[in-house]
Amino acid sequence: MRVKALLTVAVTLICALTLTIIPLPAWAEAWRPLWVALAVFYWILALPEHFGVGLAWCIGLLLDALTGSVLGAHALAMTLAAFVAARSHLVIRMYPVWQQSLLVALALALYEFALFWINGILGVQGIGAARWFPILSSAVLWPWVFVVLRAVRRRYVSMRV
Amino acid sequence: MKAGRDFQLFRPRKGLGTKAFLLLVASIALMAVDHHYNYLTGIRGALATIVYPVEWVVNAPTALSRTMAEEFASHQTLLHENRKLHASLIQARAKLLRLRSLQRENTRLRKLLHASGEIPGHVEVAGILSVDLDPFAHRITLNTGSTRGAHLGQPILDAYGIVGQIIHVSPITSQVMLITDPASAIPVEINRNGLTTLAVGTGDIDALSLPYLPNNANIKVGDLLVTSGLGGRYPRGYPVARVTAVAPQPGARFAQVTATPLAHLGRDHEVLLYFGHSKQASRRHLRGQ
């Protein structure tokens, strides 16, 4: 049962990684939601005893290798966002989904800001308002991600993992 | 009563802060090392190999549709294409004949001038994986890695000009920074008069900026920019861009000059890896074969 649960989480994360690099039309590119961060966020909220900042850091590192950013950039940003989620998972779970969206947006703002800041230090100029589009699209999509992943969890991951 | 005092509804987990802090420190250390040294190439290569299946899956539909188009192309279309390719091959060969004699003459003249002879390089074809990376960076992923000789800093061309250089390499894939990436700068010279400068990426796929030319520089719209070979990364004399706008700024130190890359950035399916630029690289390549 435990293997099945781990496999399920791995598959959802791989799907999220896939969605991160799938080609989109040029106008939609800037609006691409932060799929991986959303998935990590969900699993930390749903199974906080098993997943936390460690998972977030590992996935962040994979994301660094995938997108070719400096090693550790996404890992750091993801750890920050995951820390918020893990720290207050009991509070966040109390809210209705649409209010969770706001908190997700807040955590992702932290995520994007960390990346923005790292790029600034490395000398890559920030690109204005487009930096913040993914936060909006991610927050809007959070309820759907939540519902889909909850269905996946109920179907494949038993309550006592 | 004692138990009641210990009970806390929203109790944060023990050790979470410490763990997060350690991971943050680890990421910062990683970034510092990765940015300044090349120690982590192996780790990056391993991670890139782990995520390669994801890239493969994302690329599969495009690859499949291209294969299908080839499989189901009609006899007529193939014949037509073949004829067209044959014609262009003959033209290219004719040009090459002239080029060879010019090259010989050039080598002789260089010898007379006691300048070092040019080392001719050779190229190999690599496919581009259709995956989208960071929208703010202009990067492409190639299906060729270090096992086929790709190496860090290797110049990438297409049939029309310079595309960029390899910035990360794993055993099976490599990532290329295009010349239009905001972090890219390429040493160029104006083909007409040999004036050297830098062409810097703008983040716009159709534009390079030449920010270090004085207002009275001898440059015109339509000038061809070729690589100058300075800096030792790109080979000399390959076309890069054509100047599209020259706007002197009377109040500022430098003029505003923009150029359009000649390479078909963002439209290519295949690019060329340039070998033979450095002896070490070609040795490594031979060993790879």
Residue A61 binned pLDDT confidence (cut-offs 50, 70, 90):
very high
Question: In angstroms, what separates the C-alpha of A37 from chain B's closest C-alpha?
Answer: 15
* pLDDT confidence of residue B137: 77
Please report, for residues B40, B96, B102, B105, B117, the alpha-carbon distance to residue B108 in angstroms, rounded to integers and kept in the order given: 45, 18, 10, 5, 9
Question: In angstroms, what separates the C-alpha of A50 from chain B's closest C-alpha?
Answer: 12
Contacts of B183 in chain A (CB under 8 A): 123-124
Joined together, the tokens standing for residue B108 give 């002789």
Helix B41-71 vs helix A2-21: angle between axes, to the nearest 10 degrees? 70
Mean pLDDT score, A123-140: 81
Question: Using the beta-carbon criterion (under 8 Å), do B16 and A61 form an inter-chain contact?
Answer: no
Q: Find the Cα–Cα–Cα–Cα dihedral B236, B239, B245, B251, rounded to 10°.
A: -10
Rounded Cα distance, B52 and B202, in Å: 29
By C-alpha distance, which of A19, A13, A102, A96 is closest to A60? A13
First to last CA, chain B: 76
Instruction: Identify whether the C-beta of residue A57 lies closer than 8 Å to the C-beta of residue B23.
Output: yes
Which of B12, B54, B139 comes nearest A17 by C-beta?
B54
Q: Residue B267 CB: number of other CB atoms within 10 A?
A: 8
Question: In angstroms, what separates the C-alpha of B132 from chain A's closest C-alpha?
Answer: 5
Question: In angstroms, what separates the C-alpha of B195 from chain A's closest C-alpha?
Answer: 27
Rounded Cα distance, B234 and B263, in Å: 15
Contacts of A30 in chain B (CB under 8 A): 135
Provide the phi-psi class of B195: left if phi over 0, else alpha when psi is between -120 and 50, else beta: beta
Q: Hey, is A73 helix, strand or coil?
A: helix
Joined together, the tokens standing for residue B135 give 């929208």
Could you tell me which chain A residue has the CA closest to the CA of B14?
A87
Question: How buried is residue A35: exposed, middle or buried, by Cβ count under 10 Å (0-12/13-18/19+)?
Answer: buried
Interface test with chain B among A71, A93, A121, A132, by most B beta carbons within 10 Å: A71
pLDDT in tens, chain B (289 residues): 444 445 555 555 678 888 899 999 999 999 999 888 878 888 888 898 888 999 898 888 888 988 888 888 888 888 999 999 999 999 999 888 888 888 888 888 888 887 665 656 788 899 888 777 777 778 899 999 888 889 888 999 998 999 999 998 888 899 999 999 888 999 999 999 989 999 999 888 899 999 999 888 889 899 999 999 888 888 888 999 999 999 988 888 899 999 999 999 888 888 999 987 455 544 554 444 3
Task: Choose between A146 and B108: higher pLDDT.
Answer: A146
* pLDDT confidence of residue B3: 46
Rounded Cα distance, A116 and A107, in Å: 14
By C-alpha distance, which of B183, B262, B193 is closest to B228? B193
Residue type, A68: G
Chain mean position to CA B253: 30
Over residues A4-21, the pLDDT tens digits come to: 888 999 999 999 999 998
Rounded Cα distance, B222 and B220, in Å: 6
Over residues A79-111, the pLDDT tens digits come to: 999 999 988 888 888 899 889 999 999 999 999
CA–CA–CA angle B97, B99, B102 (5° rounding) = 115
**Mean pLDDT of the residues in chain A:** 88
Q: Hey, is B201 helix, strand or coil?
A: strand
Over residues A38-55, the pLDDT tens digits come to: 999 999 999 888 888 999
Please report, for residues A16, A18, A102, the alpha-carbon distance to residue A137 in angstroms, rounded to integers and kept in the order given: 15, 17, 12
* pLDDT confidence of residue B1: 41
The pTM assigned to this predicted structure is 0.79
Residue type, A148: V
Contacts of B26 in chain A (CB under 8 A): 57, 72, 75
Instruction: Identify whether the C-beta of residue B167 lies closer than 8 Å to the C-beta of residue B150.
Output: no
Rounded Cα distance, B259 and B191, in Å: 14
